[in-house]
Amino acid sequence: MSGKQKHGALKGSVDVIKDSLKVVRQHPEIALYPYAATLFISITYPLVSATILAHWYRRIFADTGVYVPDRARLILGLVGFSAFYVALVTAYFTTAVSASVLAKLEDRPTPPFYGLLRVAKNFIKVTKYAFLSLFFFPIGVFAQRSKLPRGIVGVVGGSVTLHMAQVAPSFLTTNMNLGSTIRHSVDTLGRAWREGLILKIGTYIAIFLVIALPKLIQHGFFKSHKASNIGWLVSLELAASSYVVLKVINAIFTTVLYHKARQLKK
């Protein structure tokens, strides 16, 4: 990416954030989605941890005094299951907020929590794409294989930034197959994938900072083994909630970016 493109993409990202804030001010109910996501994940994740994951927690954080050989496998299983659950919840809420924001941008009358109603009505389809969202990058590359090798930068950039908020408008309103849906979503966003990449990187930096904070505090002030375990537990809880909330907020930005790109193509 050239210096001019970087500057333009950065400015475009800032403009998208400004436009998104205007939309939220005009339609404050959109701001309820991050709060709803926070409430949902804050209630359900501890319940999942206390039931399905309780045995793993006990074995991982048991004070045995020695390193347990299978602890790495347990941690991997815990993190893997947690990531899967969080990704699923994130997909539902990002789809919901995308449907709601797009309806507001198109001046369509909508009932309260329109996005969640859309997710409930299309639950099977949304769940299918929620599972597939874990593999959006390779699916995106495969769907755009006709552009390779000449357009490799655009293919990789467009696939890296693929987001449920970007794909949702296509699969909620059409009966296109998976490949056509992905191609339509990527082609609609077009060169704006650079702005999408900047927004995505910013989101992940914010998530990392929130997750790292408990461990930094624990490392700086509390040195005990028990404090270390508590630090990890708090970090896991924050990882789940902050990931969902910040991804839902990013979905608002992505939907506004998608809408602007779609208007330019008309």
Spatial contact of 167 and 181, defined as CB atoms under 8 Å apart:
yes
Q: Kindly tell me if the per-residue pLDDT of 222 is higher than 90.
A: no
- Residue with the larger pLDDT of the pair 18 and 47: 18
pLDDT in tens, 60-112: 555 544 444 555 666 666 667 777 888 889 999 999 999 999 999 988 888 88
Q: Kindly tell me if the per-residue pLDDT of 240 is higher than 70.
A: yes
Q: Kindly tell me if the per-residue pLDDT of 138 is higher than 50.
A: yes
Least confident piece of the model among 186-195, 201-210, 211-220, 233-242 = 211-220
Q: Kindly tell me if the per-residue pLDDT of 229 is higher than 60.
A: no
Q: Which of 247, 241, 252, 250 has the alpha carbon at shortest distance from 99?
A: 252
- Residue with the larger pLDDT of the pair 216 and 84: 84
pLDDT in tens, 152-174: 888 888 888 888 888 988 888 88
User: Is the pTM for the entire model greater than 0.85?
Assistant: no
**What integer pLDDT is reported at residue 101 of this predicted model?**
92
Instruction: Please state the rounded mean pLDDT for residues 47-66.
Output: 61
- Residue with the larger pLDDT of the pair 147 and 30: 30
Instruction: Please state the rounded mean pLDDT for residues 3-21.
Output: 79
**What integer pLDDT is reported at residue 119 of this predicted model?**
93
3-state secondary structure string, the chain?
A: CCHHHHHHHHHHHHHHHHHHHHHHHHCHHHHHHHHHHHHHHHHHHHHHHHHCCHHHHHHHCCCCCCCCCCHHHHHHHHHHHHHHHHHHHHHHHHHHHHHHHHHHHCCCCCCCCHHHHHHHHCHHHHHHHHHHHHHHHHHHHHHCHHHCCCCHHHHHHHHHCCCHHHHHHHHHHCCCCHHHHHHHHHHHHHHHHHHHHHHHHHHHHHHHHHHHHHHHHHHHHCCCHHHHHHHHHHHHHHHHHHHHHHHHHHHHHHHHHHHHHHHHHC
- Cα separation, 263 vs 266, in Å, equals 5
- Residue with the larger pLDDT of the pair 45 and 167: 167
**What integer pLDDT is reported at residue 158 of this predicted model?**
83
Q: Which two tokens stand for residue 129?
A: 């794409």
Sorted by where each begins, the domain ranges of the chain are 3-131+163-172+193-265
Q: Kindly tell me if the per-residue pLDDT of 206 is higher than 50.
A: yes
